[in-house]
Amino acid sequence: MQRFTVSVIFFSLTLLTLSDGGSIGVNYGRIANNLPSAVKVVQLLKSQGLDRVKVYDTDPSVLRALSGSGIKVTVDLPNQQLFAAAKAPSFALSWVERNVAAYHPHTQIEAIAVGNEVFVDPAHTTKFLVPAMKNIYQALVKHNLHSDIKVSSPIALSALGNSYPSSSGSFRPELVQPVFKPMLDFLRQTGSYLMVNVYPFFAYESNADVISLDYALFRDNPGVVDPGNGLRYFNLFDAQIDAVFAALSALKYDDVKIVVTETGWPSKGDNNEVGASLQNAAAYNGNLVRKILTGGGTPMRPKADLTVYLFALFNENQKGGPTSERNFGLFYPDERKVYDIPLTAEKLKDYHDRPSPVSGGQKQPPKAPAPVVVGGGGVSKSTTGNTWCVANPDVEKVKLQAALDFACGEGGADCRPIQRGATCYDPNTLVAHASFAFNSYYQKKARAGGSCYFGGTSYVVTQEPKYGSCEFPTGY
């Protein structure tokens, strides 16, 4: 979910050693003009017992503020720098010197995310991913930091070719040989882990008639049996994670661990964003924290103590797209809590999820297994009605044009109708043409999770787009 910057929580090392579970961290995104200073943010994290944070760059003010805090940090090398990092070892070495070695160990950098959801980046950066990861790692070796700092890259669930049922999880075939096998070899050889972004909210939003709200929010429900392995799932999060574990197993990388680098639920959304509410966000994140900190493995990997980064630390007012994108935060910019949930093992003792009459999940869980496909920034296929993918008119024209070029080129969208003289050429605007191309790609991909993203330049709508007399397809 690259268009978001996420934040999550976790507990102290003392509690970690006493707990039977995993670890909670927070994504600290800054796409906003009203956030507190980095110094105040570090104070906020410490006051909440949060000692693991993930950021989306290497901003000096943030890294300096974290110095001496005891908070472990995951930093990011942005997608736009993948080419340079892949092609020039000297660039990778210089980047590590400036952004990692200059701060570590006083700022406890524990991982570098090389890119973010690269496979859905319209700038064609996929082929540079593994070479960039290797060059960054070699730069760490030269500074003798490779034992302290892991190198990985977050993937969205759209990187899966199959994700339902969980037992049939597999990576997209076209990515296996050129990307996944060399990347997983690298992770295995360096003792690193696969970073994964998962969002049950998007799956529920588009399939609310099929997926029980209780199933999405970790509440009591009869569960869903995977027909492939007979395992029973009681929440959608586990089903999504196990689809990734199955994909790893299919390629014989069972020894590669997973870290969930983004997950969350919005506290507010547009009228058509089903399930986006303060009560549901509190339930999802609160129950997820309880699951992870009290020994929350998955049916397929019951002993997998996961590290999970919640999305996000703050509501970020400068994000585009639907209302939900600006309301994933645990805190308002003035540092007030959006809702009150425990973020540490100690505070879990007094935590009780209290379903409201409206959001209490009155529906029964699905009689048949529920779809689990959904990637960062995408919505899974709707079974209740049609959905379309359209361009975000508020993004920069250069970024939108690049996404349009990708959709009509490598993406394989049917762009013939928007050529000069064709049925959808008018109105001759970038937004109209991009919307048609994005939707063509989205429908060709069967509205799968992550297929309406294009680097954050698009989003899903439930009302048919209207651009002149052009008709947008709903399926191929």
| Active site (catalytic) residues | 117, 262
Backbone angles phi and psi of 359, in degrees to 5: -100, 10
Residue appearing with tokens 């859905």: 120
Cβ–Cβ < 8 Å for 292, 23: yes
Which residue, 178, 172, 185, 160, is CA-closest to 240? Answer: 160
The strand pair at 232-233 and 224-225 is best described as antiparallel
- Give the containing element (helix H, strand E) for 14: helix 13-18
Name the amino acid, one letter, at 355. Answer: P
User: How distant is the alpha carbon of residue 355 from its chain centre?
Assistant: 26
Pairing relationship of beta strands 232-233 and 170-171 according to DSSP bridges = unpaired
* Start-to-end CA span in the chain (Å): 26
Measured between alpha carbons, how far is 194 from 174 in angstroms, rounded to an integer? 19
Where residue 191 falls (left for φ over 0; alpha for ψ -120 to 50; beta otherwise) is left
Please give the Cα distance from 290 to 6 (Å, whole number): 19
d(CA 64, CA 142): 23
DSSP sequence for 426-443: -S--HHHHHHHHHHHHHH
